[in-house]
A and B are shown apart, each in its own frame.
Chain A
C-alpha cells in the first residue's frame, strides 16, 4: 500500500496533546499505529510529562480496549491520559442516562402499604395515603395530598426536593436526611415543598416560590448530566 492514510493525528494544545484516532479503520490497526506514534513523539527524559486527550470520534471502545490504549500511551511514563472521548455510547448507557433525567408521570392513589419507586423525577397525579410511600432518584412533584412518606434523591442527591399541592406527611426523606411529622396534631400545608437547608443541615418546608431561587427546577436534566 503506497499512500497509507494517517490513522492517528496529533495536535498540540496549550494543555498538552490531543490524539485524533481514525474512526473507521480496524482496532488492531489503531493499536499498531499507536505503538509507533508514541515511540516517535515521546518526550525526552528531561522534558516534563505531557497530558494527552484521546478523541475517538464515532468509534466505540470497550472499557478493556480503553485500558489497552491507555497502557500503550503511558508505557514509558512520559505521557498521562487525561481523557478518552467518544461521541458514541452504548444503548444501555443511553437508556440509563435518559431514565435518570426523565420525569415519570404516574396517575393513581398510593395506598397504605404500597411503594412507588421511580428512576428520575416523579410526577404523581394522585394522593399518597397514610402508610403509602413514593421514592424517586430525582425530585418528587405531587399533584395531590401527601400523607404518607416521600423520599427524593434516593441515591444520594441532596439537591432533590419534594413539592406537593397539600402535605401532611408521615415522613419526608431527601437523600440521607429524614424528618418526621411532629407528635402533636398539626395542620397540613398547601402548595409547599421540602428541601435540604444546608445551613441548618436538615430538611425544611417552605413555600413553593423559594424553589425558583434555591433550586433550578427546570434544569434538572442539566444537573444530572453533570452528575453523570
Chain B
C-alpha cells in the first residue's frame, strides 16, 4: 500500500468539490498516476453533502480502497464528518478563515490555509478550492506544472481564468511547502499514458467505435452520462441521437432502427429498463439486434438514485413475457466497458437478439484512469449473416429460415426481392403470422426451437474464458459478477498476505451462462463465497440455477455505498468462523445518520 494515497474531498453540492476532484484526478493522470474516483452524493443539485474519494497510485487499482489518507474539507460539515477517517500520518487541508478544525486523529496533520491572504480579499469564494488544491498538490508530492497544465487545458479559451487559478494554486502550493510536512510516501510520476474517463464515457465511446449509428434515451441517473456524450459527439460522428418521450419509446425506437439495419443502442437505469421490457420481447421474436444498457442503481422503484447496487440481475433475466433467448453481460471494469461494447454489438448482430449490458453506478459515474492505448484501438466488426444487395438471381427469401444453427440471413430493408414483414406475433419462416390460424403446433415449436438454437454458439464466442485469479488450491473462492470483481481481487491479495489462502472467480457473461467452465472450476473449490451487492443474493441464485452450484457462504452489501476490500476481508473471516451470510456495511462516522445537516439541506431540487 506504500506509495498509494486515498484523497477525500468533502463539501456541499455546488461548492465546486466535483471540479476540484476532477482537476486533481487529471493532474495525477497527466503524471502517469492511476486514479480511481468514486463520489458519494445526494440527489440534490445544490446543498447536501458530497464526498469524493480518489485513490491515487502508481499501480492500477480496481476499487475505492479503504481509508482516506488526505482530505480537503470545503466546509464545516465535511470537517465534522470525515476528519476521524484519516489514517495515521494523514493530512486535512481546509480554509482556515472559514472552517473550524476538529480534533485530528492521532498522527494526523491539520493544515489550515489563510485563504484571504493567499487568494486576496476580493477573490471569488470558489478560489478557496483552488488554493486548497494547490496546497494538496504540494503535500502529496505532485509536480505543480501538471496542475497548472490542467488549468490551461480546462480553460483553454480564457487565459485570464487560467492565470487566476494558477496564481491561487501556486499561493497554496508555496504556503504548504513552507508550512506543512509532505505525506510520508510522496507520489511519484510514472511513464504511463493515461486518460481520465467516466465509465459512461467509455460505454458511449465504445459504442461509437463499434459502429453504433442510432442512440436513443430518456434521462435517468446514473445512465444520463451516455446520453450527454452522445449528444455532444453524435452530430460530428454521424450518430443520430434522440431524446425520446419515455423509455417505452426509447426501446421501440432503438429496435425500429436496429430492424432497419443499423447498429442501435439505448441506455437507462432500472426504472427505465422496466418500461422497456415489453420491447425486449419484440427484439426477441422479431430477431432484431439491439444493445440495451441498464446502469444499475439502488432500487426498488425510485430507490437510491445516486447510490450503487447490483440489484437488477433478476430483472434483466426476466425482462419481458414469454420464453426467448437473450444475451446478458456485465463488464467488470471501466476498461472492460470498452471491450464489452465491441462484443455486445457483434453478438447482437451475429445472433440477431437483444443484448443487455449491466453496468452500475460505481462504474458508470466513477472516474478512472485508463491507458490511452486501450481506447485507441480499432474494433473487430462482425455483423453476422447480412444481405445488403440483391444478387439478381431468382430466389425465394425467407427472413426466418429455419437453419441448422437457427440463424437466418438478415436482409436489410431496401434490398429488392427480399421483402418481409417482421411481426411480434408468432410467424412462420416467411414471417407470415401463425397466431391467427386455428392452431399450428408444428410451426410454433419449430420457430421457438429455431430461436433458442441460436444461443448454442454464443458461449464459445465469448472473448473471455473463465479464469481463477489467485492461487490454485485455495481454502476460499470468492465469486462475483460485474464490477465487484475489482474489490474481490484485491481482497484475495490481502487475504493471502494475511495467511488465508483465497482466490477469486469473476463472471462477466450472465446469459448464456458459462455453465461447463463454471462447473469445472468451482467443482474443485473448497469454500465458495459469493460476493455481491444486493440483499437476496441474486447472483448466488443465478449460479445455482444455471450451473447447479450452491455457494457455501455469502458476503452481501446493499447500503448504497460500494464495497471496499476491508469489507470483503472481514466478511471472509466471519465466513471462516462459520457464518453463512455476512452482511457488510459502511460504518464511517461521516456516513451515519443522524448527523448535522449541511447548510443547503433544505434545497429540494433533485437530480433523478
| A, B: real partners | no
